Amino acid sequence: MARYDQLASRVYTETRMPSGTRDLVLALGWVTLRDPRRHDPAIGTWARTREVMNTDNKRIWQLIAEDVPRYDFDLHDKAPMGCQAPMVRVQRLCGRNTMYGFSEFDPATGWMTYWGFCNRPRCREYMRTIEQRAKGSKDRAPEPIPNAGGLLPLFFSWNWEAKYRKAMALIKFRSSWEPPSYGLSADEWPEVPGQEKPKAFPKLRLIASGGEVIQRARPKLVIA
């Protein structure tokens, strides 16, 4: 009971946890730690998890696909629409329709920022410094540090790479996904300024047999 309470407490303090991922983690934790049927050899962990969540197999794969470790440009680039050059006499950006646009890649994180400017002479003048800085930045930047997904491996030890690949092929129809070199678990990724780094929980081991995850004995906590 104490271990499940610890898991639930940890899940609810993770601010980056989407509601679907949170529900899946809690359901898996319940099935492996508290469920009265957790020692029943006739039912696998994932089959029981589907029952507990009152969902189907497709929904489980959707939740796994949503947790695929990746870099999502839209999560960090909140650039406003329109020209981004500052106005001279008022505290706001120009905002006119853009005529020139380009991307800049951060040399530390590999993250991309999109810049757009209108054709006003002073806006284009402001643009030139940024444009020069951005030239070649993609070639100099490292592989983008992931900023999404990677939360399920915080709690459960399993062959997540294979499952993420299958989820991407089944749900996202993309078989070209490759795991980031930084690791599958979000607690392995380098820290990024302004981004809260998640903390790993002592992992519950999920045992796979014949493609289905089952629990053969009382789960063991695995220290990451």
Please write the tens of the pLDDT for every residue from 154-181. Answer: 999 989 999 999 999 999 888 889 999 9
pTM: 0.83
Q: How far apart are CA 7 and CA 12, in angstroms?
A: 9
Q: Which residues contact 7 (CB under 8 A, 6 or more apart)?
A: 25, 26, 29, 33, 155, 201, 204
145 pLDDT band, cuts 50/70/90, is very high
Residue 194 has pLDDT above 90, yes or no: no
Q: What per-residue confidence (pLDDT) applies to 93? A: 96
With 60 as the cut, is the pLDDT of residue 58 above it? yes
163 in Cβ contact with 64 (< 8 Å): yes
Would you say 66 and 173 are in contact if contact means Cβ atoms under 8 Å apart?
A: no
Banded model confidence at residue 78, pLDDT cuts 50, 70, 90: confident
Q: Round to whole Å and give the CA distance between 112 and 110.
A: 7
| Nearest one of 21, 24, 27, 29 to 2, comparing CA atoms | 29
Report which of 218, 205, 194, 201 is spatially closest to residue 157, judged by C-alpha positions: 205
- 7-11, 121-125, 211-215 — which one is most confidently predicted on average? 121-125
Q: Which amino acid is at 159?
A: N
Q: What is the pLDDT of residues 4-25, one digit of tens each?
A: 999 999 999 888 889 999 999 9
**What DSSP letter does each residue of 74-85 carry, written as one string?**
HHH--PPSS--P
The percent of residues above 90 in pLDDT, for the chain, comes to 68
Q: How confident is the model at residue 207 (pLDDT cuts 50, 70, 90)?
A: low
pLDDT in tens, 14-55: 888 899 999 999 999 999 999 999 888 888 888 999 999 999
pLDDT at 100 over 50: yes
Reference 67, options 156, 143, 4, 142; nearest CA is 156
